[in-house]
């Protein structure tokens, strides 16, 4: 099939969220021509759903907060599996990246002295999240997209990449289609950056938007890249649980950061009973002590237990529900009206106020919210070099949620947005530098013909499976068998189910034409969703312990032997295979920070 539309760039960025936009800006600043491909409209990437803020040790709230404290918090939160080089770079560079956003026009909330305000979040020693109310991701995208367009990025909206093009073992571009028309388009490039975000749409209950189908992870895997840490999928402790139409919609951690408390059906503030031994001394032991912290008394620095790391809070909520102390619709209660005035809530959490008022008929200035865990974030993804964001595939980079390494076994809230801007910048700069020494490769037309024919195959079949039914079945399987608590038996069932559904893809048929055809889009997305689902299941089977966001009921304890080991996945002769890799050990001075504190 002829592909009449073709474009050439030095650097091709796939994904127009925070990481992709920041990478594009860095590449342009380095002198490269940049193509920016987005699955949705510009400004609608999933980054806009990030609400609470971005973590950076600016020291505005507490002058003793610096990169070393942020580094330590990140490493501890990741349960031993963070790449220390990424964690150090992130902690050191995040303040400059945030100030850069401010210089480009981002309007952060201000403290009384005029400096950026910073709010507390779970797992962070100090209040360090720079924010714009509870709409921080939206402001991040607004600022970055304006700057990227002004700098000269070539933007291709509503365009989905479904194949990376390889020449002699090096990435040479990408094959995509326009979502409105179904027409194919070829992008040739010297280097390619994946910034496609997460994979949460493989689960039924998720905070992720429709774009998050694991595209970049699957594209990299099929091109020969290694995946790492895929068993670590974060279930955010507070998603909406009612009404059913919005179940899983995120309730920002900023609600708890601003003083919201979690209670069960008995009115008990239950998180005091779930403080892990390693965190004892860091968190308040009574409601009175926690209230002093919320009111501004930071002398003892003992945070409310609602601000424990997300894995701990999510598991505590599940335990309360299973013990029969849940809310009427299967969650628990989150109440900020007990601690804050209506005026304060509306000023600090305007999106949450309107979200619950419009979707659940709940006024959070007077009543509690019903919340429960929701699939939220993938700590695992494509294995990258910690310095440059390169993958093991020549010419291919990855940044943001699609990349693994920074967050280890559990991500701290707020680290996602600063991750995007720190490693987006690094990926863009290195990809541009590498592109200077490369020529555009000649792409075999026969390979393009085979790829486009395969993508159109379901149009030639009749009376086949409905891709929407396959998607629903996959989401239910992942929800039921690969959720917040896992077992060997359920995971093995899930693996067989995923493999069965993968075979069923070749039996799907799609009616109609290619233009505006959501059935076809879903069928193409399913290739990625099934790949990442298999990767999560296989990794979860291999990690026979409980650590961070990965909980095995049959292996409830953490295994020291696995505590410094990452699981890798590779494609070998068409099959997904597992391997292990030791976690890189930090130098003595950084190890001391982690173990003893600053």
Domain boundaries, the chain: 239-374, 455-555
Question: What pLDDT, on a 0 to 100 scale, did the predictor assign at position 226?
Answer: 98
DSSP 408: T
Q: Name the phi and psi angles at 502, rounded to 5.
A: -60, -40
Question: What pLDDT, on a 0 to 100 scale, did the predictor assign at position 115?
Answer: 93
Outline where DSSP puts E strands in 179-288: 184-194, 227-228, 233-240, 261-263
pLDDT band at 11 (very low <50, low <70, confident <90, very high): very high
Q: For residue 574, what are the CA distances in angstroms to 161, 221, 531?
A: 21, 11, 12
72 a catalytic residue: no
User: Which has the closest alpha carbon to 291: 279, 309, 304, 278?
Assistant: 304
pLDDT band at 1 (very low <50, low <70, confident <90, very high): low
Q: What's the rounded Cα separation, in Å, for the pair 58 and 495? A: 45
Question: What pLDDT, on a 0 to 100 scale, did the predictor assign at position 361?
Answer: 94
Question: What pLDDT, on a 0 to 100 scale, did the predictor assign at position 292?
Answer: 85
Buried b (16+ CB within 10 A) or exposed e, 438-451: eeebebeeeebeeb
- Rg, C-alpha atoms of the chain: 23
Please say if the pLDDT value at position 440 is more than 90: yes
Span of 59-73, 285-299, 368-382, 542-556 with lowest mean pLDDT: 285-299
Segment 457-494, tens digit of pLDDT: 999 899 999 999 999 999 999 999 999 999 999 999 99
The better pLDDT of the pair 302, 163 is held by 163
Please say if the pLDDT value at position 297 is more than 70: no
Q: Which residue has the tokens 């774009």?
A: 211
Segment 553-583, tens digit of pLDDT: 999 999 998 989 999 999 998 999 999 999 9
236 a catalytic residue: yes
- Look over the chain and give the mean of its residue pLDDT values, rounded to a whole number: 95
Kind of pairing, strands 261-263 and 565-572? unpaired
Concatenate the DSSP letters of all residues of 344-393 into one string.
HHHHH-HHHHHHHHHHS---TTTSPEEEEEEEEEES-EE---TTT-B-SS
Per the residue annotation, which of 256, 465, 486, 538 is the catalytic one?
256
How large is the angle between the packed helices 136-151 and 415-435, nearest 10 degrees? Answer: 20
Question: What pLDDT, on a 0 to 100 scale, did the predictor assign at position 299?
Answer: 56
Sign of torsion, CA 280 416 81 70?
negative
Cβ neighbours, 10 Å, residue 294: 20
Segment 402-422, tens digit of pLDDT: 999 999 999 999 999 999 999
Helix, strand or coil for residue 407?
A: coil
Give the residue-averaged pLDDT of 127-150.
96
- ∠ CA 383-385-388, nearest 5°, is 130
Question: What pLDDT, on a 0 to 100 scale, did the predictor assign at position 293?
Answer: 80
Question: What pLDDT, on a 0 to 100 scale, did the predictor assign at position 596?
Answer: 78
Question: What pLDDT, on a 0 to 100 scale, did the predictor assign at position 597?
Answer: 65
Question: What pLDDT, on a 0 to 100 scale, did the predictor assign at position 598?
Answer: 58
Segment 59-92, tens digit of pLDDT: 998 899 999 999 999 999 999 999 999 999 999 9
User: Which has the closest alpha carbon to 66: 39, 36, 102, 94?
Assistant: 94
Question: What pLDDT, on a 0 to 100 scale, did the predictor assign at position 291?
Answer: 85
Please say if the pLDDT value at position 187 is more than 70: yes
* pTM, entire model: 0.95
Segment 236-259, tens digit of pLDDT: 999 999 889 899 999 999 999 899
Question: What pLDDT, on a 0 to 100 scale, did the predictor assign at position 172?
Answer: 98
Question: What pLDDT, on a 0 to 100 scale, did the predictor assign at position 281?
Answer: 80
Question: What pLDDT, on a 0 to 100 scale, did the predictor assign at position 118?
Answer: 94
Instruction: Return the structure tokens found at 545.
Output: 């312990």
Please say if the pLDDT value at position 300 is more than 80: no
pLDDT band at 302 (very low <50, low <70, confident <90, very high): confident
Which architecture, in CATH terms, is 239-374? Alpha-Beta Complex (3.90)
Domain 455-555 part of CATH 1.20.1090.10: no
User: Which has the closest alpha carbon to 540: 584, 583, 493?
Assistant: 493
Residue 152, sorted as left (phi over 0), alpha (psi -120 to 50) or beta, turns out to be left
Question: What pLDDT, on a 0 to 100 scale, did the predictor assign at position 2?
Answer: 77
Note whether 559 and 545 are within 8 A (CB): yes
Per the residue annotation, which of 128, 236, 247, 538 is the catalytic one?
236
Please say if the pLDDT value at position 208 is more than 60: yes
Q: For residue 265, what are the CA distances in angstroms to 269, 322, 466?
A: 10, 12, 42
Tell me the percentage of the chain whose pLDDT exceeds 70: 99
């Amino acid at each position: 099939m002829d592909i009449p539309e073709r474009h050439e760039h030095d650097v091709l960025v796939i994904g127009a969220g925070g990481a992709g936009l920041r990478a594009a800006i860095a590449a342009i600043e380095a002198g490269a021509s940049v193509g920016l491909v987005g699955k949705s409209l510009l400004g609608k990437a999933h980054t806009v759903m990030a609400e609470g803020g971005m973590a950076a040790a600016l020291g505005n709230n507490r002058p003793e907060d610096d990169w070393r404290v942020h580094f330590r918090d990140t490493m501890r939160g990741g349960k031993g599996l963070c790449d220390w080089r990424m964690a150090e770079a992130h902690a050191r560079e995040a303040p400059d990246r945030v100030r850069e956003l401010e210089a480009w026009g981002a309007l952060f909330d201000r403290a009384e002295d005029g400096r950026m305000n910073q709010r507390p979040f779970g797992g962070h020693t100090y209040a360090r999240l720079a924010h714009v109310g509870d709409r921080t991701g939206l402001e991040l995208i607004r600022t970055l997209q304006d700057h990227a367009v002004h700098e000269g990025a070539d933007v291709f909206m509503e365009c989905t990449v479904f194949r990376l093009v390889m020449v002699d073992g090096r990435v040479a571009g990408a094959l995509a289609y326009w979502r409105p028309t179904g027409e194919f388009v070829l992008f040739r490039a010297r280097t390619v950056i994946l910034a496609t975000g997460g994979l949460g749409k493989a689960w039924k209950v998720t905070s992720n938007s429709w774009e998050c189908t694991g595209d970049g992870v699957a594209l990299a895997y099929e091109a020969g890249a290694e995946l790492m840490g895929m068993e670590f999928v974060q279930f955010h402790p507070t998603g909406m649980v009612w009404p059913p139409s919005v179940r899983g919609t995120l309730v920002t951690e900023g609600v708890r950061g601003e003083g919201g408390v979690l209670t069960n059906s008995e009115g008990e503030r239950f998180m005091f009973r779930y403080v892990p031994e390693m965190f004892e001394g860091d968190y308040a032991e009574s409601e009175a002590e926690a209230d002093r912290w919320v009111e501004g008394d930071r002398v003892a620095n003992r945070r409310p237990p609602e601000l424990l790391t997300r894995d701990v809070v999510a598991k505590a909520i599940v335990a309360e529900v299973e013990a029969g102390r849940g809310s009427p619709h299967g969650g628990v209660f989150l109440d900020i009206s007990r601690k804050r005035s209506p005026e304060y809530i509306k000023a600090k959490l305007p999106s949450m106020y309107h979200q619950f008022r419009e979707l659940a008929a709940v006024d959070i200035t007077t009543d509690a919210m019903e919340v429960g865990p929701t699939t939220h974030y993938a700590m695992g993804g494509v294995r990258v070099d910690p310095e440059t964001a390169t993958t093991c595939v020549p010419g291919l980079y990855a940044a943001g949620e699609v990349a693994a390494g920074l967050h280890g076994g559990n991500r701290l809230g707020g680290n996602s947005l600063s991750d995007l801007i720190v490693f987006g910048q690094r990926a863009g700069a290195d990809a541009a530098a590498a592109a200077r020494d490369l020529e555009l490769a000649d792409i075999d037309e026969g390979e393009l013909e085979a790829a486009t024919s395969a993508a159109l195959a379901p149009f030639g079949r009749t009376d086949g499976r409905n891709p929407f039914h396959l998607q629903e079945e996959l989401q239910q399987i992942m929800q039921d068998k690969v959720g917040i608590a896992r077992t060997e038996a359920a995971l093995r069932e899930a693996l067989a189910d995923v493999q069965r559904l993968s075979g069923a893809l070749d039996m799907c048929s799609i009616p109609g034409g290619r233009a505006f055809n959501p059935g076809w889009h879903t069928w193409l997305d399913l290739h990625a969703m099934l790949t990442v689902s298999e990767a999560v299941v296989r990794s979860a089977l291999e990690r026979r312990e409980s650590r961070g966001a990965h909980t095995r009921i049959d292996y409830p304890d953490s295994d020291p032997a696995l505590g410094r080991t990452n699981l890798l996945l590779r494609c070998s002769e068409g099959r997904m295979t597992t391997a292990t890799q030791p976690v890189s050990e930090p130098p003595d001075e950084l190890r001391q920070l982690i173990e003893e504190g600053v």
